[in-house]
Amino acid sequence: MSRIPFNRPSHVGPESEYVQDAITRRKLAGDGYYTKKATAWFQEHWGVAQCLLTTSCTHAMELAALLYDLKPGDEVILPSFTFVSTVNAFLLRGVTPVFVDIEPNTLNIDVSQLEQHITEKTRLIVPVHYGGTSCDMTRLMEIAKRRGVEVFEDAAQAIDGEWNGQKLGTFGSMSALSFHETKNIICGEGGALLINDPAFVQRAEIIREKGTNRSQFMRGMVQKYTWMDIGSSYLPSDMLAAYLVAQLENMEQIQSRRGEIFTRYYEGLRPLQESGKLTLPVFSTSSKINYHMFYFWVESRDVRDELIDFMRERDIQLVFHYQPLHVSPMGMKLGGKEGTLPVTEDIPHRLLRLPFFYDLTLEEQQRVLSGLFEFFGEEFSK
């Protein structure tokens, strides 16, 4: 029997053809034919003011941190239960991260604890839509507006997720998506900065193009381009955009397949939840989830470790995350202390993620389920 990895990047159809076509067009740099197509897709389908493809979600966040003009001493509020990039992007600007605990069901920032962390130095609130599930964006946006703080969404995992019928990534003044091979819609490495507040558009194009107005030049708006501002280079090659366009055009198919896999796991594991062996997440009716990952909780760290080993012997890879950032070596250097964020410090020890990707087969999924039932000493029926 072959190994069932935790992730296997998949292509769904026209990827090779489009990448080949990008090569044939003999324009491999950024902002070519396919990049424009991808950008137009987000403007058309999501109504964002601008979409800028970037080399990663990490880079989209770094670009955003430059655009918000963050300075040393400014404070940014964010969860500690997240990927390192969410914090690094802002730390690079010298800001002080203020970590807030998560809510135990969605594992998203606990909105009821936000206000007590807002000070006159707070510039930004950064919600992370964990697993593509929204936190309470109605309350979060209301608090941000009332307190005069901007919102930036880390929507790396959240493509196609919604809160009350509105796409995640369209609430904040800006947001970032990831197309890393572990996400729903992929191109290997890549991301996008979505800009909802038009005031950021012009400067974003300049910073992304090494601080020059080359984008305006390419559109024939200026005679020659020149150095206008600070900047960096965040453009992905058009070959990567070609792969991405193939995925975007097939997003419905990708999402519906992921939905089937998700439902099969969820329904399949219900008996184990009923007998108290594990806990499945519950989703708010205001959330449209995007089937980014499949996770559940077990009773303790020991059970988690035993289960990982048990499944590894059956060639099935289970993983967990995130080590809370505030008590990581870097977080401690910033003054993080144990015991300050109880939910964040408890959850990763009991959380498990199952193999979950587009072309996971029915047979593979049944192997995963039957392994779990065997571990918990219960009968598995297909």
List residues binding ligand PLP (CB under 6 A).
Answer: 56-58, 82-83, 85-86, 128, 154, 156-157, 178, 180, 191
Residue type present at position 366? Q
Which residue, 58 or 237, is less far from ligand PLP as judged by CB? 58
| Residue in 32, 8, 40 with CA at minimum distance from that of residue 240 | 32
State the minimum distance, in angstroms, from the CB of residue 108 to ligand PLP. Answer: 11
Which residue, 60 or 242, is less far from ligand PLP as judged by CB? 60
Which residue, 123 or 129, is less far from ligand PLP as judged by CB? 129
Q: In what side-by-side order are the strands of the sheet with 166-167?
A: 166-167, 162-163, 287-288
| Residue in 235, 133, 125 with CA at minimum distance from that of residue 184 | 133
Number of C-alpha atoms within 13 angstroms, CB side, residue 278? Answer: 28
State the minimum distance, in angstroms, from the CB of residue 258 to ligand PLP. Answer: 16
Which residue, 158 or 228, is less far from ligand PLP as judged by CB? 158
| Phi, psi (rounded to 5 degrees) for 123 | -105, -30
Which residue, 183 or 304, is less far from ligand PLP as judged by CB? 183
How far is Cα 45 from Cα 248, in angstroms, rounded to an integer?
A: 11
Which residue, 86 or 196, is less far from ligand PLP as judged by CB? 86
State the minimum distance, in angstroms, from the CB of residue 83 to ligand PLP. Answer: 4
State the minimum distance, in angstroms, from the CB of residue 180 to ligand PLP. Answer: 4
Residues with Cβ within 8 Å of 231's Cβ and at least 6 positions away in sequence, in order, are 206, 207, 208, 209, 210, 211, 212
State the minimum distance, in angstroms, from the CB of residue 7 to ligand PLP. Answer: 11
**Do β-strands 122-125 and 162-163 pair in parallel, antiparallel, or remain unpaired?**
unpaired
State the minimum distance, in angstroms, from the CB of residue 79 to ligand PLP. Answer: 9
Judge whether 106 and 347 are in contact, CB under 8 Å: no
Which residue, 129 or 367, is less far from ligand PLP as judged by CB? 129
Which residue, 87 or 272, is less far from ligand PLP as judged by CB? 87
How far is Cα 316 from Cα 308, in angstroms, rounded to an integer?
A: 9
State the minimum distance, in angstroms, from the CB of residue 348 to ligand PLP. Answer: 14
Which residue, 48 or 293, is less far from ligand PLP as judged by CB? 293
**Residue bearing tokens 């708006």:** 221
Rg (CA), the chain: 21
| Residue in 190, 286, 193, 308 with CA at minimum distance from that of residue 245 | 190
State the minimum distance, in angstroms, from the CB of residue 178 to ligand PLP. Answer: 3
Per the DSSP assignment, residues forming a β-bridge with 295 are 353
| Phi, psi (rounded to 5 degrees) for 209 | -105, 50
169: left (phi over 0), alpha (psi -120 to 50) or beta: left
State the minimum distance, in angstroms, from the CB of residue 281 to ligand PLP. Answer: 16
Return the structure tokens found at 10: 């998949």
Residue 162: enclosing H or E segment and its boundaries? strand 162-163
State the minimum distance, in angstroms, from the CB of residue 272 to ligand PLP. Answer: 27
Which residue, 213 or 287, is less far from ligand PLP as judged by CB? 287
Q: How many CB atoms lie within 10 A of CB 343?
A: 17
Return the structure tokens found at 360: 């996971």
